[in-house]
Amino acid sequence: MVGLFSRFSRWFQTIFKRKHLKVGIYGPPNAGKTTLANRISMDWLGEEVGSVSEVPHETREALEKREIVIEADGARVTFDIVDTPGVTTKIDYHEFVEEYGLNDEEGRERAREATQGIIDAIKWLDKVEGVLLVLDSTQDPFTQVNLTILGNLEARDLPVLIVANKIDRQESSPASLRAAFQKHTVVPVSALTGFNMENLYRTMVKYFR
């Protein structure tokens, strides 16, 4: 009887796929995670999620935007998106001081908050049901940070959709990301300009529902 119930449960879940999902937006600092979160939220809700800056770790705590209903190709899925702080393997307050003009106190505080933000991002992995992994398509895909993040996601068996961001830039090479991470679906976009976002929405609805 238990076996019959188990088979029925799996059949039910297959036929009636979930239509409301919590998806985390992950990636290294300055890959464009908040820009993407803002683009998605503006397109479907008319409001932004968070602020954007050229200084790394502008987002230092996870920001959630709920009830984003995305429709594509006759299907509809409701997403709660979580814009997470940038994940990195090293934070040095000197970078904020020497490269971005923060004073010593500001640099130390930002480094402290950024470290806490990474911890926050990792904790959210226990709550999300899928991940948009935002990577900068103008950069070398084989970085320690990229491989660490993707390895962590794969170990957790979370559905991962790679967003090759910044394709509006001349040096962009989404093909490099596709070649590097062949097991995963890669969608090139410009979150800044909105280019190819319709393709991302179609892929999200198909991939995560």
Domains of the chain (ranges; CATH) run 16-208 (3.40.50.300)
Instruction: Assign 12 a pLDDT band (cuts: 50, 70, 90).
Output: very low
Instruction: With both helix axes pointing from N to C terminus, report the angle between 33-44 and 197-208 in degrees, rounded to the nearest 10.
Output: 90
pLDDT of 15 > 50? The answer is: no
C-alpha to C-alpha distance for 120 and 128, rounded to whole angstroms: 13
pLDDT, greater one: 177 or 2:
177
pLDDT for the residue numbered 99 = 67
One-letter amino acid of 80: D
pLDDT, greater one: 134 or 10:
134
pLDDT of 16 > 70? The answer is: no
% of residues, the chain, pLDDT over 90 = 62
Instruction: Kindly give, in sequence order, each residue whose CB lies less than 8 Å from that of residue 84, ignoring residues fewer than 6 positions away.
Output: 24, 25, 26, 33, 59, 62, 117, 120, 121, 124
HSE, CB side, 13 Å, CA atoms: give it for residue 183: 7
pTM: 0.84
CA 182 to chain centre: 18
Instruction: Assign 4 a pLDDT band (cuts: 50, 70, 90).
Output: low
What is the rounded average pLDDT of the residues 77-99? 82
The answer to whether the beta carbons of residues 111 and 92 sit under 8 Å apart is yes
pLDDT for the residue numbered 104 = 81
pLDDT of 60 > 70? The answer is: no
pLDDT of 21 > 70? The answer is: yes
pLDDT for the residue numbered 105 = 81
